Amino acid sequence: GQNIDQPTEMTATEGAIVQINCTYQTSGFNGLFWYQQHAGEAPTFLSYNVLDGLEEKGRFSSFLSRSKGYSYLLLKELQMKDSASYLCAVRDPLNRDDKIIFGKGTRLHILP
Amino acid sequence: GAVVSQHPSWVICKSGTSVKIECRSLDFQATTMFWYRQFPKQSLMLMATSNEGSKATYEQGVEKDKFLINHASLTLSTLTVTSAHPEDSSFYICSARDWTGTGGNYGYTFGSGTRLTVV
């Protein structure tokens, strides 16, 4: 089966740093995505990790540990526009379709 | 980069009628299309996967006779919500799989979504 867990909501202050954790238990694994989604809009790609370690991209970094089934998204120098939902998603290679399964998402609230 | 055009952006329909949502891949071939549904404050739930020229594969609990998927060409997939009811009101979004991986986003490109309201 598939199980992807992340906190439902988080609150942080403008200018601060926040880490959003994601744990997964899936039948197969072929990479982990992080997406940002504002209400009523399509998800926006943030990062993709397939090997263990940290990937840094500007204010956003993503970490993966395949042995622990664990990933986190780190957001630095938070801005008000970062208020959004952040979706952790695992790529499942167990069928030829290579589908992406999403976690429930973390709603991040940024306070001034 | 790769773009998926999804229409309509929003639609209001009467209970009992059918609604068709289109997703068209621009400048690339979408051999696989994933259809998701998202209720307010919830995450994207995969409804079905369609491959060009073959029948769609539905996730457990999704009625295939209610949500008709057609993927007749490499650039167009449609989702038809038949005999819509208020509980079908949701945000529907497609994601095209670009097997060449040249479109960016590691081969998965989302449409902009369709807000369906059934009254």
Closest-CA residue of chain B to A105: B43
Confidence of residue A26 (pLDDT cuts 50, 70, 90): confident
Compute the average pLDDT of residues B80-94.
97
Of A42, A103, A105, which has the smallest distance from its Cβ to B111's Cβ? Answer: A42
pLDDT at site A1:
66
The one-letter amino acid code at B23 reads C
- The DSSP bridge partners found for residue B80 are B20, B68
pLDDT at site A68:
95
How many contiguous H segments (helices) and E segments (strands) does chain A have? 0, 11
pLDDT at site A98:
80
Confidence of residue A9 (pLDDT cuts 50, 70, 90): very high
Compute the average pLDDT of residues B31-40.
93
- Would you say residue A56 has pLDDT above 90? yes
**Contact assignment for A107 to B41 by CB distance below 8 Å:** yes
Compute the average pLDDT of residues A1-7.
88
Other Cβ atoms closer than 10 A to B81: 24
Which of A19-23, A93-97, B53-57, B74-78 bottoms out in mean pLDDT, i.e. has the lowest? A93-97
pLDDT digits (tens, 9 = 90+) for B5-34: 999 999 999 999 999 999 999 988 888 999
Which among A92, A70, A77 is positioned nearest to A20, based on CA atoms? A70
- Calpha distance A93→B82 (Å, rounded): 31
Kindly state whether B105 is in contact with chain A, defined as any CB-CB distance less than 8 angstroms.
yes
**Contact assignment for B51 to A97 by CB distance below 8 Å:** yes
- Would you say residue B103 has pLDDT above 60? no
- Calpha distance B104→B109 (Å, rounded): 8
- Would you say residue A76 has pLDDT above 70? yes
Closest-CA residue of chain B to A38: B41
pLDDT at site B102:
58
Ramachandran angles phi, psi of A26, nearest 5°? -130, 160
**Contact assignment for B95 to A100 by CB distance below 8 Å:** yes
Kindly state whether A104 is in contact with chain B, defined as any CB-CB distance less than 8 angstroms.
yes
Residues of B in contact with A101 (CB under 8 A): 46
Work out the end-to-end distance of chain B between its first and last CA atoms, rounded to an integer number of angstroms.
Answer: 37
Q: How does A77-86 read in b/e, with b if 16+ C-beta sit within 10 Å? A: ebeeebbbbb
Under a CB-based contact definition with an 8 Å cutoff, are residues A78 and A12 in contact? yes
Which of A74-78, B54-58, B80-84, B87-91 bottoms out in mean pLDDT, i.e. has the lowest? B54-58
Positive or negative, the CA dihedral A26, A32, A36, A42 is negative
Residues of B in contact with A45 (CB under 8 A): 104-106, 108
Kindly state whether B91 is in contact with chain A, defined as any CB-CB distance less than 8 angstroms.
yes
The one-letter amino acid code at A30 reads N
What average pLDDT does the structure give for chain A? 93
The one-letter amino acid code at A73 reads L
The one-letter amino acid code at B48 reads A
